[in-house]
Chains A and B, each alone.
Chain A
């Protein structure tokens, strides 16, 4: 691993990010990344955060048109309420703050505590819970569907609405609409290696893959012998469509988990587009790349979001962040 010691991995990464992106204010000690011009008068602020190791999520999405601030936690560990409260206070212009929370027990509990504390400090807070992963059965017997790739859709579209001056309740409603219209499915070809453990988290022999994996290397639905990109695309897209059943165009995100080359991701995307076309699903926009990653895990996920004209317009709206940038 290209690190110094496990204890400073997050801080070291933030220092490097600060050096590369002077347009962000990076508080390395308190682990809060804020767009430099915050708070922006008259604008609802968006704050997200989660464990580190999923870069560019979330700090890479801080900037005009997307997040106002991000709180990176320890590797694969949610941030603490203090970070979120600090971030909310730094970006609130008086129009309120939307917390974008991925559905993991730790993120949910810490953001809930933060929302209470921020409220006591006079910051108006709304929350959206992202839970798009169809690999998990949402039932009394699980913690519910995980939040994965749809987080990017939520942060981009709600961020665009906030940039246009939409009020907090409208931004929150759009964020929930995007989440409800989105589903994901992920595949791991290798395990992930966390800096703290230094060896693969789970044992996935070469020649096998894990279908329905989460973004922390959590095992998924089943393990199988290695499949071709074509077969994986069939499996993943069908799993998403079975749950989403879109009746209109979709946004497609073909997301790399960190250690899969873009050449393979584009090849996989070709297969994803083929299946979608075969199933009669119209793709309005496609994004391919490493956006919601899992350290050094090889693999990919597919996220689809059913959209209308307004959502496509907000998706196309200008965005200027380290990892997502277009239209300005």
Chain B
């Protein structure tokens, strides 16, 4: 079972990964966006870590809801509302139990991803974060490792796509050949989840 502490460590691991990869995310964003995805997420997840430290929530759902609210309040751009909604809606779907199973997490993440799709009006293949998150949520039903692989593969698979949403869509055909920064950062979120599970003593 995964408790509030697990979710807290997942968010902290995400903050560390985003920190490490910030320059890379910004580099991806400068190719087809406006060169700030890394620094924006860095600011947001630093705020998430600080808020969770200050007053650690008692349930998995509450951890994600708090994290989501912090992202909405600090990130800005499209990433703030989209990431914020992802975590808030996933947290909401987890309910207020003290612990959840990996299967319940996978299902809740599916609800969070659906909320992101609705908010952004995007679908699979639009070259957005959904291209990493949709396959990841699906694969997490099998294992954390499968989720990680699916997210990575999904992010890489955005390279040949033409963007249809967000600022990259203005580039039209010129967006082809670049990895979507949002899909790349989404893969980091799932990567952090798998890392956190692994540090608990193996795949669940």
Chain A residues within CB distance 8 Å of chain B: 6, 51, 73-82, 104-106, 109-110, 112-113, 136-137, 140-143, 146, 194, 196-197, 201-202, 214, 216-220
Contact = CB atoms under 8 A, between A and B. Distances in A.
Contacts of A216: 34, 167
B181 interface: no
B77 interface: yes
Contact of B77 (A82, A106, A214): A106
Quick one: which of B40, B43, B174 has the most chain A CB within 10 A?
B40
Interface in B26-40: 26, 30, 34-36, 39-40
Given A142-B169, A201-B35, A106 B76 contact: yes
Given A113-B81, A201-B30, A77 B36 contact: yes
B77 A194 contact: no
A171 to B, nearest CB: 26
- Nearest 9 pairs between A and B by C-beta? A106-B77, A109-B81, A106-B78, A105-B78, A142-B169, A77-B77, A77-B76, A216-B34, A197-B35
Contacts of B80: 78, 80, 106, 109-110
22 contacts: A6-B39, A51-B76, A73-B77, A74-B36, A74-B77, A104-B167, A105-B78, A106-B80, A109-B82, A109-B120, A110-B81, A137-B172, A140-B164, A141-B162, A141-B164, A194-B35, A196-B35, A196-B36, A197-B35, A218-B34, A218-B167, A220-B170
Contacts of A80: 72-76, 80
B95 interface: no
Contacts of A217: 34
Looking at chain A's contact residues, the main secondary structure is: loop
A134 B72 CA distance: 31
Contacts of A137: 172
B79 interface: yes
Interface in B145-170: 162, 164-167, 169-170
A75 B36 contact: yes
A170 B132 CA distance: 44
Contacts of B165: 105, 143
A159 B82 CA distance: 31
A196 B167 contact: no
A142 B164 contact: yes
A219 B120 CA distance: 22
A109 B74 contact: no
Contacts of A143: 165-167, 169-170
Contacts of B81: 81, 106, 109-110, 112-113
Given A106-B79, A110-B77, 18 more contacts: A73-B77, A74-B77, A76-B36, A80-B72, A80-B73, A80-B74, A80-B76, A82-B73, A109-B120, A110-B76, A140-B164, A141-B164, A142-B169, A143-B167, A197-B35, A214-B167, A217-B34, A218-B34
B98 interface: no
Contacts of B43: 74
Contacts of B76: 51, 73-74, 77-80, 106, 110
A76 B80 CA distance: 14
B50 interface: no
A142 B36 contact: no
B30 A77 contact: no
A141 B172 contact: yes
Contact of B167 (A81, A82, A105, A197): A105
Contacts of B40: 74, 77
A168 B152 CA distance: 48
B28 to A, nearest CB: 12
Nearest to A140: B164
Contacts of A75: 36
Contacts of B167: 104-105, 143, 214, 216, 218
A146 B82 CA distance: 20
A76 B34 contact: yes
B119 interface: yes
Interface string B36-74: 100110010000000000000000000000000000111
B198 interface: no
Nearest to A202: B30
Given A82-B73, A106-B78, A201-B34, A196 B39 contact: yes
Quick one: which of A142, A214, A219 has the most chain B CB within 10 A?
A142
A99 to B, nearest CB: 15
B74 to A, nearest CB: 7
Contacts of A104: 78, 167
